[in-house]
Structures are given as C-alpha cells and as structure tokens.
Amino acid sequence: MIYYIITGTGKGIGKALAAAALHDNNTVVYGISRNVSIEHERYHHVYADLSDITALRNNLHKLFPNLENPEKIVLINNAGILGEVAYLGSQTTDNFEFVFDVNVIAPAMLINTFISAYNDQNCPKIIINISSGAGQRAVDGWSAYCASKAALDMISLTCQKEQDILQSGIKVYALSPGVVDTAMQAQIREVEAKRFSELERFQDLKKEGNLQSPEEVSKKILHLIQNPIADQVIVLVRDL
C-alpha cells in the first residue's frame, strides 16, 4: 500500500489531495486536521490543532502509526494560515507566534518525527511542504506569512541536504501551488485596501476566473509524487 499523511484535510487543497489519492485502491490516507470532511474506508482521521504546539508535541506518536508493508510513504504538510493582514506596527502582538506555530513549527515537528518513525522502512519516502511564492517575495501586510513560508523553504532545503548526505533516499519538496480558490483567497479579498496594496489584483483574479481549483492542483501534486523530480527542492505547481 501507498500511505499518505496529509495535514489540513478539512478543506481546500488538503481535502482535494486526500480525495484524489483515495481514487487509487492501493492507497491509505491519514488526514490530520480539526474537522472531518471525508468518509472513506481507507481514510483515517486524526484530530490535531496545529496551532496548539504543546498538545501536538504530546500527541505526535498518534500521527505516525505503524504501517504494514508500505510501498511508499508520503508526508504532505499542507495546513497553513495567512494570519492577520496588517502592516508591522499595527499587528496584534501574537500574530507572528500564531502564524509560525502553524506554518513552521508544526511542519518541522512533523518532518522530524516522520523521518524518525519511518527511517527503517525500506521504501520510497517523500515529504512535500506546501509553500508559497510569498516566501520568495515581500508582500505588504503579509510579513508573518512571507517570513513563515521563507522559513519552510529553508527547512525543506536543509532537510534535503541532510538526507542526501545520509543517502537515505528521502525526497523533500517545498511546493508553491500558486493562486488557488480556497478560504485563504476569500480572506485576502475581504481585507481593507489600506492594509494590503495588492487587494484589487487578488479580487480581479476571482472575478476573471483565474484561480485554480483545489482539484486541479491536487492532480499536479500527485503527478509529482508519482514522478519525482531529482535535484530540485523548490517547485512551482505551474511548472509541473
């Protein structure tokens, strides 16, 4: 069996990924989120609030079960939050902590535990961290989000370098999905213009039908899993 461990399966890309993976009768999906949105005999839900780092630390063992004769094991750190959209100097004091807990600390903990838990499994292992183009460029009002995705990119690059040195065979990607029709995009379109200079552009993306669907993106991510790209960590969905 091919085993997927996916965070944020309650909605958006995570839900679409889980559903698409389950189309293959040879897959089992472990979904990690606060909400159950999928019912399937090969889908196993694990409740976790990735913003509660203490609870996550105490329950990590539940997220990585013993797997029977795996052909491939895939971890997809999909869950992420935009956080408060506001300029530095006008943000709430806990915004950076909240965003970094979900977008950086939780994925890093899951990556660390995933490698430790399945290091002895003699099968291909893939880690995909859902990143963002915002990790590569500054976007006003998004300081916490941009910084968190840049950090996730560097964790991915460092992890791959380590696995190459160890010759473990583990493949790591930081994958930017592009603009996708999700709840995060809806949040962006509702921000006041004074807190985000690119508001009109994002509103036009929706009006003009230029947002990808989560289902379209999930198909491309599964294609990457089935056809790994060697010697590349930072990947854009539009290039797949």
What are the percentages of helix, strand and coil residues in the chain, rounded to 5? 45, 15, 40
CB 109, CB 60: distance < 8 Å: yes
User: In sequence order, what are the residues at sequence separation of 6 or more whose Cβ sits closer than 8 angstroms to the Cβ of residue 208?
Assistant: none
For residue 191, the SS3 value is: coil
CB 33, CB 51: distance < 8 Å: no
Residue tagged active-site, from 4, 43, 118, 145 = 145
For residue 27, the SS3 value is: strand
158: which 2 tokens? 């460092």
DSSP state letter for 101: I
CB 29, CB 41: distance < 8 Å: no
Give dist(CA 60, CA 110) in Å, integer: 8
CB 74, CB 225: distance < 8 Å: yes
Catalytic site residue 145?
yes
Give dist(CA 206, CA 181) in Å, integer: 8
User: In sequence order, what are the residues at sequence separation of 6 or more whose Cβ sits closer than 8 angstroms to the Cβ of residue 116?
Assistant: none
Residue count (the chain):
240
Annotated catalytic residues are 145
